[in-house]
């Protein structure tokens, strides 16, 4: 048997008045996912444990079959894994945004979507200027970078426990109220503070200001943690896998799972992503792997924009351009189980993530239909089964017991 997971990030939602009380999944045209619900098993599962925040990091760990309460150490360590950075026992990875601060406010968490090339120059300048601190900055894509801090006077446990705030939670808010707090936070605050004069004087920023673009005025550290210990799929289930995603942290979970990470040209994480390229890469990967995980970000991004029309378009595209061709392949091949699911709710009403149960559909050899007529929240709740521990869904698909 082979296995294909198709993840529509944040596509679950609540009923909306503007859709006459329907959810975007109900309003969208999704014949392929509906067919999966009819021919297979559909129901609800909880990818976000009740005690954890509803983020893509937690949700995707569950979707890979890992118990977030036992495996989640932070977002940055997963992104570090994606970059091939392995953390020593005494090291803690922080996410380091290059942000635009102004008038005491968090003006722009992305510094005007600064280019990767500009950011790499700034990150190199920070490494040089802050070399007396136990930190190494690693450049990433656009505004998204990493800071690896080595424990010394402050233990790795304390560094991991510092209370840091994601910049996307405080748009246009006074940032001083949200600087890192707790034991050991002096060091992290010093890094943030000391980054500012380095960036202020830098020619890259002078050029951005001259061109009317937002300058990167500060490093902002958050999302930290020590190395996660995830058993690979080979060790855990005796199978091999591949992951296809435009999102670093999803690829990072794949690295920790021992997967081949397939980078598809033109995979953007938005509506203009290379859907066809992702499908052909996924079906090709099924020739050499037992398990393939395809992640599509656009439903989440359009939800954060609060755009119901674009969210429905993202779901329509996901169904027609990802699910339909994969399902057709699975029918032809005859030995492929296919699972579709989101990793959490991203609510149009609040433009942010929410916990709670979300619908899945699973079909393929050995999966008994349970009477659902369509793939959506309402049908899954009324007729479907429930996995309260969402991380048990993928092991169920694999026909494997879950010990933890």
Q: For binding to Zn ion (CB under 5 A), which residues are involved?
A: 9-10, 56, 300, 343
Phi, psi values for residue 304, rounded to 5°: -65, -30
Nearer to Zn ion, 63 or 80 (CB): 63
Q: How far is the CB of 305 from Zn ion (least distance, A)?
A: 14
Nearer to Zn ion, 10 or 359 (CB): 10
Q: How far is the CB of 267 from Zn ion (least distance, A)?
A: 16
Nearer to Zn ion, 214 or 315 (CB): 315
Q: How far is the CB of 342 from Zn ion (least distance, A)?
A: 7
Nearer to Zn ion, 66 or 237 (CB): 66
112 DSSP 8-state letter: T
Pairing type for strands 2-8 and 336-341 reads parallel
Nearer to Zn ion, 115 or 313 (CB): 313
Q: How far is the CB of 297 from Zn ion (least distance, A)?
A: 8
Within 10 A of 47 (CB to CB), how many other CB atoms are there? 30
DSSP string for 19-60: GTTB-HHHHS--HHHHHHHHHSEEEEE-SS-TTS---HHHHH
What three-state secondary structure class fits 349? coil
List Cβ neighbours of 128 (8 Å cut-off, separation of 6 or more).
Answer: none
Q: How far is the CB of 79 from Zn ion (least distance, A)?
A: 14
- Whether the CB-CB separation of 338 and 385 falls below 8 Å is answered with no
DSSP string for 142-160: TTEEEEEEE-SSS-HHHHH
Q: How far is the CB of 299 from Zn ion (least distance, A)?
A: 9
Structure tokens at 100: 């635009």
Task: For the chain, give percent helix, strand, coil, nearest 5.
Answer: 40, 20, 40
Q: How far is the CB of 88 from Zn ion (least distance, A)?
A: 29
List 163's β-bridge partners, or say none. 181
Nearer to Zn ion, 12 or 227 (CB): 12
List 352's β-bridge partners, or say none. 347
Nearer to Zn ion, 56 or 302 (CB): 56
Using CB atoms, what's the residue nearest to Zn ion? Answer: 56
């Amino acid at each position: 048997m082979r296995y294909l997971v198709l993840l529509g990030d944040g596509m679950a939602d609540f009923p909306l008045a503007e859709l006459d009380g329907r959810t975007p999944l109900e309003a969208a045209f999704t014949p392929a996912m509906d067919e999966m619900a009819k021919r297979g098993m559909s129901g609800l599962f909880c990818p976000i444990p009740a005690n954890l925040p509803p983020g893509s990091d937690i949700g995707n760990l569950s979707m890979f079959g890992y118990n977030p309460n036992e495996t989640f150490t932070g977002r940055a360590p997963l992104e570090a894994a994606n970059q091939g950075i392995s953390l020593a026992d005494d090291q803690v990875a922080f996410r380091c945004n290059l942000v635009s601060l102004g008038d005491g406010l968090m003006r722009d968490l992305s510094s005007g979507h600064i280019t990767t090339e500009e950011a790499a120059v700034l990150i190199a300048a920070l490494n040089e200027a802050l070399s007396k601190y136990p930190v190494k900055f690693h450049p990433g894509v656009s505004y998204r970078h990493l800071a690896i801090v080595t424990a010394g006077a402050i233990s790795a446990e304390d560094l991991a426990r510092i209370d840091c705030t994601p910049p996307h939670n405080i748009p246009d808010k006074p940032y001083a109220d949200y600087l890192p707090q707790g034991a050991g936070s002096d060091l992290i605050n010093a890094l943030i503070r000391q980054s500012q004069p380095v960036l202020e004087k830098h020619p890259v920023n002078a050029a951005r200001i001259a061109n009317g673009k937002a300058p990167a005025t500060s490093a902002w550290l958050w999302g930290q943690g020590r190395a996660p210990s995830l058993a690979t799929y080979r060790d855990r289930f005796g199978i091999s896998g591949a992951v296809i995603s435009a999102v670093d942290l999803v690829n990072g979970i794949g690295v920790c799972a021992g997967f081949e990470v397939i980078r598809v040209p033109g995979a953007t994480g938005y509506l203009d992503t290379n859907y066809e390229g992702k499908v052909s890469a996924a079906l090709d990967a099924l020739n050499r792997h037992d398990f393939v995980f395809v992640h599509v970000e656009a439903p989440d991004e359009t939800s954060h924009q609060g755009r119901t029309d674009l969210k429905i378009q993202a779901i329509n595209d996901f169904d027609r351009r990802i699910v339909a061709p994969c399902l057709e392949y699975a029918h032809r091949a005859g030995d492929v189980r296919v699972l579709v699911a989101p990793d959490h709710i991203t609510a149009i009403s609040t433009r942010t993530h929410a916990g709670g149960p979300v619908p899945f559909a699973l079909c393929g050899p050995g999966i008994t239909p349970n009477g659902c007529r369509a793939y959506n929240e309402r049908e899954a709740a009324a007729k479907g089964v429930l996995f309260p521990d969402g991380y048990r869904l993928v092991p169920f698909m694999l026909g494997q017991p879950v010990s933890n």
